[in-house]
Amino acid sequence: MPESKDIYYIIHTPDEIDLLGEFNIPFVYYSIVDMSKNGGLGKVTRKNQVLISDTMGSTNVISCRHANGRDWWLLFKEKAHHRFYRVLLSPKGIETLPQKIDFGGDRMDLWCQSVFSPDGKTFIQGGLESGTMQSPFHLHKYDFDRCTGMLSNYWHVQDNEPWLYTGCAVSPNSKYLYYSSHADKVYQLDLQANDIMASRQLVAVMDTAYVDSVAQIYGSAGFSTMQLGPDDKIYVNAASRSLHIIDQPDSAGIACNVIRQGIALPAINQLWCIPNFPYFRLGAEVGTLCDSLTTVSIAPEFPDILARVYPNPARSSITITLHTTDNAQFYLQDIQGKEVLQASVRGNQQISVVHLPEGLYFYKIAINNKYEYGKLWIVR
């Protein structure tokens, strides 16, 4: 929960399968865990509280940071209808906003993956029509307003190739969408192109020579759900003992460099089991009306932490956000203990690290005889 280091909200849903084999989600629940209880082991203080009492479509739950840089939005699609519930998590708790996002009419339900672009401006759902194991791929794209939690500018396309177990992810620069077929392919779309589908490029096909015992059971070592990692690479699930890697997802076409079976796993990897994380590096929309928290005095999200350094790992720059109005000094050392960077910091400040070699570094932040230490990874 924002502004609390101990309170966690767990959003969860029960699955029911009807006579036609379709998944139904009759409720959306939340439970609260207080990690200050039981000597730090935590305690469930509220369990199975109804957040939404309506049948939802089959998709993963994904969140996006509010434009104020503190709160979080969650979206849930109503089953069979082109309507969404907006849920807001703030220091006051969690609530479902009364006004739905209603585009009118119906919209088929998908076995799909939902994703926000890293810049928080686009919401995408991509997958198969519910109740079918092999059908055309449907891609639904919306503009997203991080201030209001509203969707707009709906765009839909259907890919008539037969698909199985699809997933999607957006590149760190929010320009490219990748979507996968469990059968054998990964495609790239340019979300900024005038004709998005005309920009489609095939960037990977399944290695048919790669077969292990798990792939034999599931029939493929192909491509399934995706997740953008903190190292700015996209990881792709497979029905095998491996993960694929999109190594340079900000690059166009095959330059994105899809590494098949890039990570060996010690155990069986089930379909749809890749973690589903939001983009934690997204901050406030500074200077807008929604950035209301910079003009008022609030308790920091982690009151015992002097400052926040992000992203970590970093590529070309880092941002240091102080939880105080005082000035600070930032010191960075390499693994030999040599100081490679020193800077004065006030408020929220960006510092270039593009000149530093990749590797592990150690930082110290000094504020009025108080110190904070940490590790910083620089990757290229």
Write the CA distances from 152 to 67, 121, 141, 329, integer angstroms: 16, 10, 9, 44
Task: State the pTM of this model.
Answer: 0.72
The domains located in the chain, with CATH, are 7-264 (2.130.10), 305-378 (2.60.40.3080)
Q: Residue 287: count other Cβ atoms within 10 Å of its Cβ.
A: 8
Q: Residue 378 in contact with residue 363, Cβ under 8 Å?
A: no
Spatial separation of the C-alpha atoms in residues 327 and 330, rounded to whole Å? 10
Classified as helix, coil or strand, 53 is: coil
Q: Residue 376 in contact with residue 330, Cβ under 8 Å?
A: no
Q: Which amino acid is at 274?
A: I
What string of pLDDT tens digits covers the 380 residues of the chain? 888 889 999 998 886 666 555 667 788 899 999 999 998 899 999 999 998 888 776 666 789 999 988 999 999 888 777 888 899 999 989 988 877 788 876 666 656 788 999 999 999 987 766 555 566 777 889 999 998 899 999 988 877 766 655 788 999 999 999 988 756 789 999 999 999 989 999 999 887 665 554 444 444 567 888 999 988 899 998 777 788 999 999 999 999 999 988 888 777 776 667 888 898 888 888 766 676 564 433 333 444 567 888 888 888 899 898 877 888 999 999 888 889 999 999 888 899 999 999 888 989 999 887 888 888 888 87
Peptide bond into 311 cis (omega under 30): yes
